[in-house]
Structure 1
């Protein structure tokens, strides 16, 4: 008895498991037995009887031009009106839903032509076989017309492309109930040009002209192996192309009616590019409290020695911070490849030491230690491996022309900051005549940090002048030690003063309630946003030429950064841009969307 009960339990378990398995393995329906296109005469019924596989407790829906017309597995289409109709047949079960789209053309009995395209692109010398599918009762009469001339009366036609340009072919088919015309545009391309290059290398598209009279040339990329490429139309005679991924890139060049194909094969470089700064070309800080320390100047060091030291600090991934000193101080460096100007993306970043304030005005915009450096960029137009004076373009940051859109602008204006932008600014700094303290500074007293009040004299081209002070925190000379001249002059753009003493919002922070917050500009500068912020990324498409027009550069090889703000900020000292690691965001695989104003 126990054995019989056990056998019954086993049998029921198998049946139950099989039942569950069947429920789990229901497959979605499959539809066959009907075509994707039909052509019928008006008034003729079209019976559609599809074959349905996996038809397990299925639901059926027929849609005619978006409206439900039946819920059966078969359907008869009728129409008394000429036109093109769209049928959709949907079948659903527990395994899913499948649908079949059907196009039905209703005619008056005149011929219907299909099987040929409206446009063809072929190369010069190629043959184009045109073999249309024609439906329609009675005798069919064919007429092929090329550029207005009758060239054939056969069901098929072969076009021989002996000349470049646009050609028009008309196929006219007639039967006893009417006629139909099909227009075909044929673009005969010029001979395909094949070029080769390597990743991250600029390629000048020096290709022959198709027309001696046509002055308008258009270019377009129709196929690309990745989004890391740029086709650029700069101030060079030919477009420039650069790509970051190997593969094939296909372009079209059009001159009037003549179009040609250019196939660019991009090969991998023998050595992969470094994502970081690879060479420092120049370094000249303006006087400032960190000058001669970041990096350190040793007695007897020349300008070349200091440039080499800056290279030791900036080149590679493990870079160290250098100072640019006061307004105008700069550094120039480059990469071992062209940083690609990828559309709609930020392309590179230069790190600084910007950070947000822990205290300050409630609800204020981002600020803290934001000491913006203006950016200039260049690509190696003449391929001499170094930046030349005529190659520089300006990265148009958010306040290169006006600061009125900055979220702190009103605050700064009410604080009586100079919020003007001077695009023709010049400052001359004079070598100090004394270095030893005249005043006994107190490091812990924000009202007594000065050791030399009239330390480094300066004057600008806006009829302003004054002295840089020397503070108790830094005792070395603030004037570049390797400069033997009695004065140095810097030229460029002067940004608005962004530092505001917010000590009134932090009562008791120190004896004088002095707490300067240097507010961040929205975008486009070095040492202005935190290094991890997307807003520290730079889009090469922000570059403008000397006339203020968008440059549209293919990419860049060189970068120059100079301090953009001339302002003293209490015991913090002068606004001094600091520069650290430079990064190619694309080589690092970082994708940061840009902004477009």
Structure 2
């Protein structure tokens, strides 16, 4: 290689090196690294944080290139923090969006994150009957089974009797040999808080147990020529009771039988009183009975303009249930009736909830008794494997005031008079401590249970327009025949009853033989001639003005929830073109 060629190579290398050095030194001095922008790494991969209301949440990101940095945490454009970490707290639930920016001489970096503020998981407590307290015979057990709202947190329990802890289990059996008044307290506690219920228990000997009775109402209307049975209900601790009945001060019956049949025919208002007397006390209840004009005085004949369908909802009082309060709001009985009217007018269903829930409808004319043919129909949504029978009652407007405040007559169905059919069955429902809890109930035959709150119906199940802490529904209960066909709780069957009930897949009184697999409107037909008196004898009504449908079974079907009669319409068969 000659010297000239070697020199050219050397010069090329020098020029290349200078070019590289010149390029590297364009923005910074040779040997000094470039300043880098800050980098934020949140301590949540999703940038979503969750905190309970009233609790602190500290967010502590990690940073790179953040020497001498300035920090800014913002909510809705307002600066709420100036440090590398931020502690958040809110007393109200909801979503909050937080901005974070970090600034140095080399530039800025920013992130947006979300904070979900959720409710505390306090274990709400509910115990049926605690508001009134309990009474129990000395030496007899009192089983106490409170409901405690489920949470994701470990929960502990404590029972105290007169301040002394007696149990750490959720359920407790109280029993005392010594009569007297006792104060019981149940507490449920977790890390989020606690809830408690405190109540009294009166322990008595047999002769100390207080007498009690109830009356479904204190004022009655009936047409002249008819009779009604008057009787106290849910009688407790009568001992050797004697019942004395008087009409306008004149004694008409004295017996150990509490019931009295009133059959005066002369029109007018009567003061009827019953006095219960036993070895310990005497208790009186006064009733008012109005004997109205004979049947037919307030009959309203249909005209060419008469509507086949019911034209108003007079009362709507469901039992608690998964469809109660769903999709509508009602704070009073008047508002609840308006809601039910709109649902029926739209062809939608009105759910009556568990046992005893009812709806009362009226018409713009009296519905005639044909003497044996079907007179009116009630639309439900029964199908082959789902019958939720509703007992049907009818009433004449006996006093002519346009209100359903007269005498109800039950329509006899296929189950009437059977041993498993219970007349005068009553269930008391208790308002739960929180919306998401089961609704407890007790009945007048010593039974207890719950209307289970299902995850896919989140609203409160207790009717919003019932202000009382408990309410009682009374009627006829049919035998529950529902069963789990699958054996693993996935497929429940509610078999039909032969005839005489609403929302019932009957082969006798349905208007169609279609399977109705889509649970569409599906009518059952009824005869006014099936109306019976209190003693089971025919009521012989020429016509009716009001119809009541009432859930007739007390049953639930696992994940499907409670059995509840649904009503989609009520109409006069001889006016309807259906």
Q: Scaled by the length of structure 1, what TM-score is found?
A: 0.44
